[in-house]
Structure 1
C-alpha cells in the first residue's frame, strides 16, 4: 500500500488528478483499502482471505505496464549512465561486454529458454500458493509483493533501458541463436515498460520463489534450480541487466524471504 500512496502523490503533483495513471493508482488504492476493510480477517475466514490476497498479483502485474508511462511522468530520462558507472567501479567494465567471448547460438538459445521459463515459474508460484495452506500463502504473498513494491520503487528512482538498448553500439558480437532466441527477444522488446532494469526483479523474484519452494514445495525447487541459475546468468549474457541490478535484485529477494519467514513466526497460532 505504501508504494501506491507514494506513486499517487508523485503523479498528482506531476500530472494532476485527471491523468490516466493517477486514476489507475487511485482506483487500485481504493480497491485495496476496501478489501482490507470489508473482507474478513478472522483465522477461520479462509475464502475471504484468499480473495483479499488475490488483489496483489492482479494489481502488481497490471501496474508493471502502467509504470511505462507513470514513471516518465515523474522522472524524465533514464539512469543507464549512473548504473554503468557503478558497474565500472565494481569490475572496471560492463559484465555483458566481458561475456562476449562466451557467445554462441547454443548458449543464446539455452539462456533465452531460461529467461522465458521465469514467467511460467512466476505465475505458477503465485497461484499454486494461493490454493495451498493459508498461513503459508499469507507469508508468501507478504514477502513477494513487498519485493515487487521495493523493486517498482527502484524503477521510479533509476529508470533504465539496460545494456541491450543503452549500450548497443558497444557490443561487437551478435547474440545469434535460433527461433527460441528470436521469440524471447520479441517478447522482451514488445513487453518491456522501458524502465524495468534496477533492481532486477527477474533475479529477486526467482530467488524468493526458489527459497520458498525449498521450504514448502521441495520437488519444484529441484526442478527449477538449474533453470533459475541459468536465468540469473541470462540477464547478463542476454544484455538485459547491469551487474548492480542483479546483485541488488538477489539481495532484495533474500531479504524479502527472511522478512516473510519472520512474518510467519510472529503470526498467532
Structure 2
C-alpha cells in the first residue's frame, strides 16, 4: 500500500481499544493514513483496518508489546515502509488495575509499570527519533492524577510518570518542530470502563462533572485530533478532556 502524496501518517498504539478505535476513525476522517497497533487482539485491529479501507481510507495493522523496544522498532519500520514516514504518534496503550495501596499485589504494580511507564517510554523514544518535522507525539495520562480517588493510586502514579516524561520530551525536541503533549481523560464510557459497574455507580460517576455525563471515546478523539492537526502552539502540556471534573 502506498501513501497518497500529501497525506499525513499516524501510528495509534492500542488502536483496537475503545478510545484508540475512536482516535483511529477520527484521524482517518481528517485524512490521515493510520497504522492500527494491537498488543494481543490482531483480529479486532484487522477488522478496524478493513472498515477503514472499505470506506476509502488508508490503514494497516501492526502488532507488538509496547514495552519491547525491538517490537516497537519493527512496528515503526512497518509504518514507514507502508506509508513513507510517521507524522503523528498517539500512544493510547495502557492497563488499569485498581487496588488500595495497602492491598496491592506488587506483581500487578510491575505489570502496570511495564506497559504504562516503560511502554510509554519505548514508544516516545521511537517517536522522538522517527516523527517528521511538523509532527506530534501524544501520550495518554488520566484525570485521576488530579482526582485522588481511593484505589487509583497505583494506576495514577504510573500515569503521572507518563506526564513528566511527555513534558520533558517536549523540551528535548527543541528545534525539531514536533509538539509533545499528554491527554488525560476523565471517566469515559468505554466497554472496559463500564465492565463490572452497576448502574448506580455509573450514574454517580456521570454526575461528577458539571456537564453531568460520562465522556465518550469521541470526546477524547476530538482532543487528540486537535493536537495532531491544527494545534501547533499547544506544546509540553497535559490536556484534560473530562467535562470539568477536575
TM-score bracket, normalised by the shorter chain, equals under 0.3
Q: Which has the higher contact order (CA 8 A, sep 6+)?
A: 1
TM-score by length of 2: 0.27
Larger Rg: 1
Structure holding more helix per residue = 1
TM-score by length of 1: 0.25
Structure holding more strand per residue = 2
